[in-house]
Structure 1
Amino acid sequence: MNKIMNRWLLALVLSLSVSQTLALEYETLPDVKAGIVIIQVQDPERTVGYTVGDVLTRNISLRIKKPYQLIDESLPIIGYERRYRGQLVGIDLSNIKHIKKEDGDSVNHDLTLSYQVFTNNVVAKNGALPAEYLRLINTESKEVVRYRIPSWDFAISPLSIFGAVKIENNMSGYRGPLLLDNNAEKQRLKILLTILGLSLLGLLYMLGKHAWLPKMGGPFAKTYRIIRKAPNTSQGLQDVVSSMHQSLNKTAGFSLFSGNLNQFFEKKPAFKQIESEIEQFFGLSRQVFFEPNAKHAVGNNPIEWLAQFCRRCRDCERGLITDKQTVNKA
């Protein structure tokens, strides 16, 4: 039994002495000059949520310019137990892959380092994939230098938690804010905003009074603006009726009267659906300009009726379907 214990103690002492010797050896070597080594490191995607038994992999690409050359014996050793202040770190190298490729005046080294976690605690604690030191040799001057691969910090989570835990007091500093996946809501919002925009554009086209879109600057659109500003007087009524006549003539392309309406409807069939209103307008025009005592069927407020009639003419001019039951006051 004593012999076994002595052998175990001897192996432990030798391992400690080897690790100390390697550490001292790297500490005495000078660092490689800047620009000789170009490094690219791909670390694990997340920095939290690792527990005992998990394997973390780093992909490291080194580009070493000649005449410097990597000493392969300085690559990390699988299973080497690292210590910090005399205590085992609990993160050991479990696998290594090395691919070497010549590239003109330099050599590319692709390293895949896999580390396994062998430590656990009742609360989350900090961990790190250790910094690795590589030795390089100048093949011309035989000078040996060192290059340091930086460490990578992460958090090790316990397998289970004992006692009451307050989330706000135990959030790891390595974890970012907790986010909800709102992609579906964003997509739905974009669709609804698109529908809303198209609806507003349609309403603007149907009810708009300004010439912002095609067919919105026609004769009846301009007359409608005149009617809205016209005073409710005899002179105002005459000006509005005169403007309506001008719009009808311009739309027809000839002087329009009650006797040549069929010719107008053949050229502008959209206005056929408001034939009765056009006939009422000619009756009102006759009373305004020629027969003051003549009766008309437009009610007691001719300007208000003319505004509605002009809107319906404007809808026909824009190619919209008009409906007497849905006409609103201007």
Structure 2
Amino acid sequence: MPSTNRRSFITAIAGASTLSLAGCLGSSGSSTVRMGSSTQGSATFAATQALQSVVSDNADNVDISAQETSGSGAGNFRLYDNGEIDGGGFDNFAAAQAVDGTGSFADQPVDSVPYQGFFYVLPHTYLVSLPDSDIETTDDLSGKNVWLNPPGTSVRPPTNAVFENAGLYDQINPIDISRGSLAGAIEEGRIDAVVVYGANYKALPGWITELDTRFTLSAVTPTESFKQAIRDTSGVGYEEVSTYGWEQDIGADEIATWTIGAQFRFGDGVSTEAVQTIARIAYEQNESIIEANGLFPAYDNPSDMLAATLPDQPVHPGVAEFLKEEGEWDEELPIGEI
């Protein structure tokens, strides 16, 4: 298996432990895959529940057991490393830190990281400013009161990293309040700019649609140096997209964003056949999954499933085999070993 850092992705002991669990047969004779689904109400929980339901209706050889966990970041990586889950939802920023032994994993590293599968949420993150803030570009943020999202959310750590790489974090005044308190703070004039995001090329989250109806907002133009800071941030993607989801005109039809993708990942103990089946159902029954979870991404082509794939981490061979059959595999991506 291709190695991307000083530690192996999957240790022999952890792999054997996972294999003995992921290869167990359920009551129907199918292989059961335990997938960490984060907390109730989260995008990961909703996506995993929807996938579990549709796989149950359409697969003969595999079942998904969605298990509520503390989160799709470091928590799920530690559960996987301990052999408590076989896969599940994992965000890319935490994945990069898990592999590199940085951030949340600097003092407590993990030895085993599951292979990449396919994405289920891809937030496109950028800034909007309030009237009278005099903020037009990211160069104007210095000295301003900027809301970066709450510290406990998955959006915040990678956003902090982008601002740090851009040399802006120490120049702004980060405002640490909850999403529920944000509108009130804006009304009181305590916020100059807000980090917002659209999800899966489809819609804005509910808390942002509330801002859309209550306040006049303008897109903040990223400078070239800020764009480069996004590209230089490990575990964060760069994409220029339309400013979808807004009812008002925010002054830009397209904008450069930092993406914080989350993927379903599967360990080396989950067979190629099982993951190939899950991937095929996720694509062929995509509309059924969306009926169960409206925010789930639309896979118009099989290659869309790799929209949040990190180029330096292995993809599960089951996903690779499915995409090869469809003629959509990217030969530049590494494939993990079973």
Give TM class, smaller chain.
under 0.3
Length-normalised TM-score, structure 2: 0.20
Length-normalised TM-score, structure 1: 0.20
From the two aligned structures, give the one with the greater helix fraction: 1
Radius of gyration: which is bigger?
Answer: 1
